[in-house]
Structure 1
Amino acid sequence: MTEAGGPAGWAARLSGGPPILVTGAAGFIGFHVATRLLDNGVPVVGLDDLNDYYDPALKRARLDRLDRHEAFRFVEAGLEDERTVRRLFAETRPETVCHLAAQAGVRHSIENPGAYARSNLTGFLNVLEGCRAVGAKHLAFASSSSVYGGNTRLPFSVANGADHPVSLYAATKKANEAMAHSYAHLYGLPTTGLRFFTVYGPWGRPDMAYFIFADAIRAGRPIRLFNNGEMERDFTYIDDIVEGVVRILARPARPDPGFDSASPDPARSWAPWRLYNIGNRRSERLTDFVDILEREIGRKAIREFAPMQPGDVAATCADIRELEAEVGFRPDTRLEDGLARFVRWHRDWTANRANLGAP
Structure 2
Amino acid sequence: MKVLVTGTAGFIGFHTAIRLLERGDSVVGFDVVNDYYDVALKEKRLEILADKARGTNAGYSFIRANLADPSAVGRAFEEHRPDRVIHLAAQAGVRYSLENPQAYVESNLTGFTNILEACRAFEVEHLTYASTSSVYGANRTMPFSEHHDVDHPLQFYAATKRANELMAHAYSHLFRLPTTGLRFFTVYGPWGRPDMALFLFTRKILEGEAIPVFNHGNHTRDFTYVDDIVEGVVRVNDTPAEADPDWDAHQPDPASSDAPFRIYNIGNNAPVKLMEYIEAIEEALGIKAKLDLLPLQPGDVPDTYADVRELADAVDYRPQTPVKEGVRRFVDWYRGYYDV
TM range (shorter): over 0.9
Which of 92, 96, 99 is residue 108 of structure 1 equivalent to?
96
Give 2:24's aligned residue. 41
Cα distance, 1:29 vs structure 2: 0.2
* Cross-structure match for 1:281: 269
TM-score by length of 1: 0.92
Aligned to 1:274, what secondary structure does the other structure show? Answer: strand
Q: CA deviation at 1:94?
A: 1.1
Residue 58 (structure 1) aligned with residue 58 (structure 2) = no
Give me the whole-angstrom Cα distance separating, in 2, the residues matched to 1:313 and 1:145.
10
Does 2:331 match 1:336? no
- 1:37, distance to aligned residue in structure 2 (A): 0.3
Q: Residue 59 of structure 1: CA displacement?
A: 0.5
Distance in 2 of aligned mates of 1:49 and 1:296: 34
Asked if 1:222 corresponds to 2:210, the answer is: yes
* 1:173 maps onto 2:161 in alignment: yes
| Aligned AA (1:57) | A
Post-superposition offset of 1:228: 1.2
User: Which TM-score applies when normalising by structure 2?
Assistant: 0.98
C-alpha separation between the residues in 1 aligned to 2:17 and 2:320?
21
The aligned counterpart of 1:11 is: none
Secondary structure at the aligned position of 1:67 is classed as helix
Aligned ranges 1:242-281 → 2 under 5 Å: 242-281=230-269
Secondary structure of 2:91's aligned partner: coil
Give the partner amino acid of 2:265.
Answer: N
| Secondary structure, aligned partner of 2:329 | helix
Letter in structure 2 aligned against 1:186:
L
Once the two structures are superposed, what CA deviation does each residue of 1:264-320 show, in whole Å capped at 9, x if it has no partner? 111000000000000000110000100110111111111011111111011000000
Pick which of 222-231 and 98-107 moved more: 222-231
Residue 198 of structure 2: SS of its match in structure 1?
A: helix
The DSSP-based 3-state class of the residue aligned with 2:138 is: coil
Q: Aligned partners of 1:294, 1:336: CA distance in 2, in Å? A: 10
Which residue of structure 2 lines up, in the alignment, with residue 95 of structure 1? Answer: 83
- Write out aligned runs for 1:318-337 (5 A): 318-337=306-325
How far did 1:72 drift?
1.3
In structure 2, how many angstroms separate the alpha carbons of the residues matched to 1:78 and 1:348? Answer: 32
Unaligned runs of 5+ in 1: 1-14, 355-359
Quote how far apart the aligned CAs of 1:82 are: 1.1
In structure 1, distance between residues paired with 2:280 and 2:217: 15
Q: How far apart are the structure 1 equivalents of 2:28 and 2:320? A: 30
CA RMSD of aligned residues (A): 0.8
Deviation at 1:91, TM superposition (A): 1.2
Runs of 4+ aligned residues of structure 1 deviating over 6 Å after TM superposition are none
Q: What does residue 133 of structure 2 align with?
A: 145
Alignment pair present for 1:24 and 2:1? no
1:197 maps to what in 2? 185
Identity in percent: 56
Secondary structure of 2:128's partner? strand
Equivalent of residue 107 in structure 2, options 108, 119, 132: 119
Unaligned runs of 5+ residues in structure 2 are: none
Q: Which amino acid aligns with 1:290?
A: I
